[in-house]
Structure 1
Amino acid sequence: MQKTFIGPHLRRLRLERSETQAAMARALGISASYVNLLENNERSVSVAILLRLFDVYGVDWRDIAEEDSTSQLADLRAVSGDPLFTENRPEIAQIRAAIVHAPAVVQAFLTLYRAYQSASDQLLSLSQNETATAGPSPEAAVHDVFRRNRNHFPALETAAESFWGSTAIPRDDIYAALKQRLRQKLGVTVRLARVEDLPGALRQYDEAGREILLSEALDHPNRIFQLVHMVGLLEQRQLIDSLVQRANIAVAHGTARLRVELANYFAAAVLMPYTAYLAEARRTKYDFDHLATRFGVSFEQACHRATTLQREGAMGVPFFFLRIDKGGNVSKRFNATDFHLAEYGGACPRLDVHTSFRTPGRIMSQFVEMPDRSQFFVFSRTVDRPTWQRHAQDNRLAVAMGCAVQHTPEIGYAEYFNMAHTTITEVGINCRICPRANCDQRAHHAAILTRPVDEHRRGATRYDG
């Protein structure tokens, strides 16, 4: 059974009521020393004490037991990995102590760091003659919601498990079964539309006409995915709305974007059931081409699903997922880890995900090391986007999956490496903050490098001199 720690919550509850530990102990019927242990997260809380907190203080146990210290720990570790903190990076014990003893300070620090990041992004945008916008983007706001939930939503998993009920639908009949379900249960029809009748779109829902239009440019797996997505939006509206409301996104357009991503999560959970998918992933050592074939989904969808396998007691390998275009822009990222490479990286040209465009459709594997000496195994492959016009050919993206090196025995793509003699590539987040002065791929003078320029020396790049 999962242990629940409520130290920061309990301390805040006590201080808000101007109580001593002894006074709270008397109210709860426990010893003052036990209250002290609970506040310092040295003891997990029992159900009896949670119920007593509700009786005495009127506090909903679901609020006080909501475990956010794990995500705070991950966020603080990611932030402390920034090269800005190279000389005074806190140890993990210090970070844990800060979360327990000064949660408000921790939250203020994280807010300040995010503001610094936002300001940095705006300056970068201005330097590229682009319009900078205040605050995080809708995509960043949605990413933060998934991050806080560790990329796993149990309520959506439960809804997906009961989707078909006791009826087993053969995989080759799913498309017809979905159309029938939409028509009979929701009064919605599905029609395949010609490209010219649905310009610039792959799916369109006509709410007034109760009709879903699917572009003929979609292949069969993606037609199925789009229909399950729409079923999720329509049938699970109340559940999705409750998750959106709880997320409390203040960014314009963010709530609509979050609703779309939650419906995508639901669709993936329906098509790739948790228990069956995890079992097959473990059996094949995460062979994503095989998984895509077995569950009738795309390679990208199979990869994305693996990042959500974070159920307590049945966890898969904690992966991060990046999707990158040919210009090096990260268009999607999901993360079941606390790696700052996953949170902020992807732009380093030394990552082979960029090289994968030279070998379309083939897996490229790589061991990498960040400036803080953390090491990861990363594998990448290109994926094709729907093409319906002559001038839109080669519309490719690349996806990269990564995990800490200690998980490589579970990954089939790492089997051909001899760890004793494997080359580990030094990478960074991006050139503007990477401290590797001698990198032969450097494209910018890093803001944090203070070594003076030597006019008598020319290094590997114009920035190394």
Structure 2
Amino acid sequence: MPKTLIGPRLRQLRREQKQTQAEMARTLGVSASYINLLENNQRSLSVQMLMSIAEAYALDWRELTKDESARRVADLRNTVLDPLFTGDRPDLQEIRGAIDHAPRLVDYFLQLHGAHRNALERILQLAGDSSTDELLKSSPETVIHDFFRDHENHFPELEQAAEQAWRGAYTSPEDRFYELRQRLSKDHNITISVRRIDQLGDALRFYDERTREVHLSQALNTANRVFQLAHVLCLVEYPELLTEIADRSGIGPLHAPSRLRVELANYFAAAFLMPYDRFLKEAEATSYDIDRIAAAFSTSYEQVCQRLTTLQREGARGVPFFFLRIDKAGNVIKRFNSTSFHLAEYGGSCPVWNIHTAFYTPGVVMPQFVEMPDGERYFTISRTVHRPVFSEETQDRRLTLALGCEARYAHRLRYASSYNFEDPKLYAPIGINCQLCPRQACTQRAHQPLFVELPMDEFRRGSTRYES
């Protein structure tokens, strides 16, 4: 087993048990000095000690060894870079020290900043609505996004269920619709019908539990019809697993656990149609060429993008991606993040980022290297897709999909192969949004930043009306 340090987690466990180091040492049959060394990360954890701790305190050993330090360091680094804070920023050593020696204080600090962030976003969205309940309430999308991000957008139990669902017989992607229809009919007495668009209205798929019928809209292409049947397969074969994960999430009724179950079933569907090992092998072989991967599995461009964010299996990781789906008004209507990158949480409102100009070149993949105000750098690709809905009111059904990774992974993607990585002008300076972006002399600025005073000289006209 690799070297494992669990100092902060062990200290927190001991305090939760209201034990001294000597009392924990007696419980585990070791010396108090050894417990002290473990808590201060001066000794690594042996397999025997790991099993002893798990047995003595009735814990899952995986929870003890789960390494969240990288994500917590990234969270804290991004938080202290908020323009809200002034003065010298804590360096990386100070941040790591805080996480090692005061983990609960760090948690409270991050929760407080998160509450501030949510309140600020609500203020910006509500534009003057002073409803306290609305300002303090986190949206279901935010809560579910955070739950997925806390798990690095990877759920081993759903991956295992998807592999078991194949029953050892992975077949041609071209036969998928027929096979799923036959399986749902034979094993669950469920019939499948494709209905006219005007018969289903705005619905794309409707499963009637009473009549055991699945109705699919004609608006869905073959790839999306197959995906919807795989989703239903999860609902009827693994309802207990969905309930178990949803219950474990701690998301209460106010935060729509039903929506979480839908997202988990979607995760299963993607894992079923694009099995992990085959998918990772194809992604690496094609240098993450999304269209080629989609062709190999007979799936859609968007389905491949979302599946790429889940490649976080221990020992078999792919490039860590974040994913955004944006409408014409700039609203982020879907997001997944397997990383510690905060661009995925807040991004979507900067006009310098080409996710917006992608609407002018439908279907064309647009690569871009971008840099955030704090110096974090990413490589992103943007492309439009069409929403599978037909109506007179929404004739232009385009959405932009953005897939991104940290710039240090760009050499593994074919979309970046033509770029000179040493070019000093390679990176486009972007921000989260104008209200929170501290950049000066940005020609695309649309609002005065909330926490930064831009220089103003009445005798000089700058590139925007917000500064000289």
Give the TM-score normalised by the residue count of structure 1. Answer: 0.94
Question: How does 1:118-267 map onto structure 2 within 5 Å?
Answer: 118-127=118-127, 132=134, 134-250=136-252, 252-267=254-269
Q: 2:93 matched to 1:90?
A: no
Residues 71, 147 of structure 1: 8 Å contact kept:
no
Q: Which moved more, 1:24-33 or 1:53-62?
A: 53-62
Pairwise CA distance, 1:187: 1.6
Letter in 2 for 1:225: F
Matches within 5 A, 1:29-428: 29-85=29-85, 87-127=87-127, 132=134, 134-250=136-252, 252-421=254-423, 422-428=425-431
1:433 to 2:415 alignment: no
State the distance in 1 between where 2:313 and 2:465 align.
49
Alpha-carbon RMSD: 2.0
Farther-moved stretch of structure 1 (27-36 vs 429-438): 27-36
Letter of the 1:385 counterpart? R
Cα distance per residue 1:15-64 (max 9 Å; x no partner): 34444324433432334343223213344423322332245445554554
Matched, 1:14 2:10: no
Give, in angstroms, the shift of residue 456 of structure 1.
Answer: 2.1
Deviation at 1:3, TM superposition (A): 5.1
Relative to structure 1, is the Cα distance of residues 22 and 142 closer, same or farther in structure 2, using a 3 angstrom cutoff?
A: same
Counterpart residue type for residue 126 of structure 2: L
CA distance in 1, matches of 2:457, 2:253: 46
- SS of structure 2 residue aligned to 1:333: strand
Q: 1:249 to 1:42 in 2, by over 3 A?
A: farther
Aligned pair in 2 of structure 1 residues 250, 78: CA closer, same or farther (>3 Å)? farther
Residue of structure 2 aligned with 1:444, choices 435, 444, 447: 447
**1:156 corresponds to which letter in structure 2?**
L
How many residues are aligned here? Answer: 465
**Letter of the structure 1 residue corresponding to residue 446 of structure 2:** A
Once residues 128 and 294 of structure 2 are traced to their aligned partners in structure 1, the CA distance between those partners, rounded to angstroms, is 39
SS across alignment from 1:279: helix
Change in 2 beyond 3 A, CA 1:398/1:207: same
Tell me the distance in 1 between the aligned counterparts of 2:463 and 2:242: 52
Q: Is the 8 A contact 1:79 1:340 kept in 2?
A: no
Contact 1:39-1:100 at 8 Å conserved across structures: no
Alpha-carbon deviations, 1:354-381, whole Å to 9, x = none?
Answer: 1111100001111111111111111110
How far is 1:459 from its partner? 1.1
Is the 1:83–1:371 contact (alpha carbons within 8 Å) kept by the matching residues of 2? no
Partner of 1:458: 461
Q: TM-score, normalised by structure 2?
A: 0.94
Contact 2:326 2:401 in 1 (8 A): yes
Contact 2:184/2:190, CA 8 A, preserved across alignment: yes
The aligned amino acid for 1:424 is: Y
Letter in 1 for 2:415: Y
Q: 1:42 to 1:404 in 2, by over 3 A?
A: farther
Query: How many angstroms does 1:337 deviate by?
Result: 1.5
Q: Distance in 2 between matches of 1:116 and 1:199?
A: 40
Q: Distance in 2 between matches of 1:56 and 1:322?
A: 44
CA distance in 2 between counterparts of 1:56 and 1:154 reads 26
CA distance in 2, matches of 1:186, 1:130: 51
In the aligned structure 1, how far is the partner of 2:141 from the partner of 2:348?
A: 16
Residues 259-312 of structure 1, C-alpha deviations (whole Å, 9 max, x = no match): 001001000001111111111111111000111111111101101111100011
Question: Greater CA deviation, 442-451 or 353-362?
Answer: 442-451
User: Percent of pairs identical after alignment?
Assistant: 50
- Structure 2 alignment gaps of length 5 or more: none
Please give the secondary structure, in 2, of the residue aligned with 1:353. coil
Q: Judge conservation of contact 2:38–2:45 (CA < 8 Å) in 1.
A: yes
**Alignment CA distance shift 1:458-1:254 (3 Å):** same
2:454 and 2:466 in contact (8 A); partners too: no
Question: Secondary structure of the residue that 2:157 maps to in structure 1?
Answer: helix
